[in-house]
A and B are shown apart, each in its own frame.
Chain A
Amino acid sequence: MKSEYDILVVGGGPGGAIAAWTAARLGLSVCLIEKRPAIGAPVRCAEGIGKELLKSFIEPDPRWVSADIKRARIVAPDGTTIALDENKAGAEVGYVLDRKFFDRELVWQASKAGSDVFVKTRAVAPIMEGRHVRGAVVECCGKRQDVRAKVTIAADGVESKFARWCGIDTTIPLTEMMSCVQYLVTDIDIDPNSNDFYLGNDVAPQGYLWVFAKGERSANVGVGIPASKNKPDMRARDYLDRFMRENFPNGKIIECVVGGDPVSRPLPCTVADGLMIVGDAARVVDPITGGGIGNAMYTGRLAAEVAARAIAQGDTSKAALMPYEEEWRSSKMGKNLERNYKVKEYFITLSDEKMNTLAQSIEGINFSEITVMALLTEIIKRNPKMLLELKGLTHALV
């Protein structure tokens, strides 16, 4: 490992990998460090991603795409099902990835483009000159060394400590940390073309339970509830076990995944002198779905592009890196995050009965698009009597 680079990327998830890949392609010297011994493992993800979103970064490859999903189904507490079908809507639904291989592929591409990659290598502190971040102290196999960089990109995921060490408060409130457990289950009867979302207080209070197909007879079956809803005898795992007993009693569990998914607003600011924060570390997860792979890749790529420009101009101050912050906030992603945060805040106030009513009102509709916006617009249109109550929702949409 050299002692100086243009860019140091902390974390080898999709956000860090795309940042490193982009920066290397732009001709910068890049070092990516990942503290775990293997890229992509253990997985902390249900592995769903929109097709168009994925394709804007990399061509899908059967080596890391587990399932091509043609429909999504939302199941209300009383069983009312809203089916969003690719054939009817003409819009593509998504893929279920195999992140062990997908994350590796991205890091492999970063490496092929010229980035140095080190696994089992952990940032333990930032190198600071006053308030300017100048790289990190890294530890590999018990040995510590300084790695200086013109720009450091914190892509250290949900557990992010790097930005905190640089003086930025990244604490997530308990109400906004989704506490998740998932099993990879085989030998079960599922629709291999569908991703299903179950709602309701019995299944997942203020969260949802998912069954994401991973092949003909296997699926990621998981649940996420706000950490504040965890009780000693009713934790996320208890909800999942109950669902398994009731729905897939003979399923074989071949993997158990645990994780925290932040559904808060993004950090108030994602740049500082010499520092950029991307992906889960920046808290850019979709507050409704909990999806963060695409947003991590988007912010990773943008951060690297802005860093390259700043480095070329010889100025890596917060002001010079600010275009990153401004651009993602005003992008489609930034706007969706803000809207979906408000929508989530509304939906978590709904009782099961209200959820059933809303679901019944749009059951069987032939949606022309498969988007959150299309769903919400239809809900509002079809529930004039609840307009006052839906005020929270309409506010979110303007």
Chain B
Amino acid sequence: MLQIHREICGYCGACVSVCPEGALELVDAYLTVESDTCRCCGICTKACPLGALEVTDEE
């Protein structure tokens, strides 16, 4: 699953616009992921300038 490290995230939206599935959104200054839509491709993890996203093995 996609893990958001909220303590690192700067809520900038760079990851939102590279997600091909449109699974990410900034809502009330929080990054949210729609788990049904996310296919754990990891593309967004590359966009983050801070390294706040990680695809983990957890279900």
Contacts and interface: CB of A to CB of B under 8 A. Distances in A.
Interface of A: 35-37, 42, 44, 122, 157-161, 164, 170-174, 177, 179-181, 227-228, 230, 232, 235-237, 256-260, 262
B17 A237 contact: no
Contacts of A35: 26-28
A202 to B, nearest CB: 18
Nearest to B26: A159
A260 to B, nearest CB: 3
B1 interface: no
A235 B11 CA distance: 16
A179 B48 contact: yes
Interface residues of B, number: 24
A164 B23 CA distance: 11
A184 to B, nearest CB: 14
Contacts of A256: 10
19 contacts: A42-B11, A44-B12, A44-B13, A122-B28, A172-B17, A174-B46, A177-B17, A179-B14, A179-B49, A181-B49, A181-B50, A227-B14, A230-B46, A235-B49, A237-B50, A258-B10, A259-B12, A260-B13, A260-B17
B2 interface: no
Contacts of B29: 36-37
Contacts of A258: 10-12, 14, 49-50
B47 A230 contact: yes
Contacts of B25: 159, 161
Contacts of B49: 179-181, 230, 235-237, 258-259
Contacts, number: 92
Interface in B5-44: 10-20, 22, 25-29, 43
Given A35-B26, A158-B14, 18 more contacts: A36-B29, A158-B17, A159-B13, A159-B25, A161-B22, A164-B22, A171-B18, A171-B19, A177-B17, A177-B18, A179-B49, A227-B47, A232-B51, A236-B50, A257-B10, A258-B14, A259-B12, A259-B14
Contact of B14 (A170, A171, A260): A260
Contacts of A171: 17-20, 22
Nearest to B19: A171
Majority secondary structure, B binding face: loop
Contact of B47 (A164, A237, A260): A260
Contacts of A37: 29
A174 B10 contact: no
Contacts of A174: 18, 43, 46-47
Contact of A158 (B11, B13, B20, B22): B13
B4 to A, nearest CB: 14
A36 B28 CA distance: 7
B13 A227 contact: no
B42 to A, nearest CB: 11
A349 to B, nearest CB: 21
A177 B16 contact: no
Given A158-B14, A159-B13, A179-B14, A227 B46 contact: yes
Q: Which 9 A-B pairs have the closest CB atoms?
A: A260-B14, A159-B13, A258-B10, A236-B49, A227-B47, A159-B16, A258-B12, A179-B49, A259-B12
B16 A161 contact: yes
A158 B49 CA distance: 15
A327 B45 CA distance: 37
A183 to B, nearest CB: 12
B10 to A, nearest CB: 3
Contact of A159 (B17, B50, B51): B17
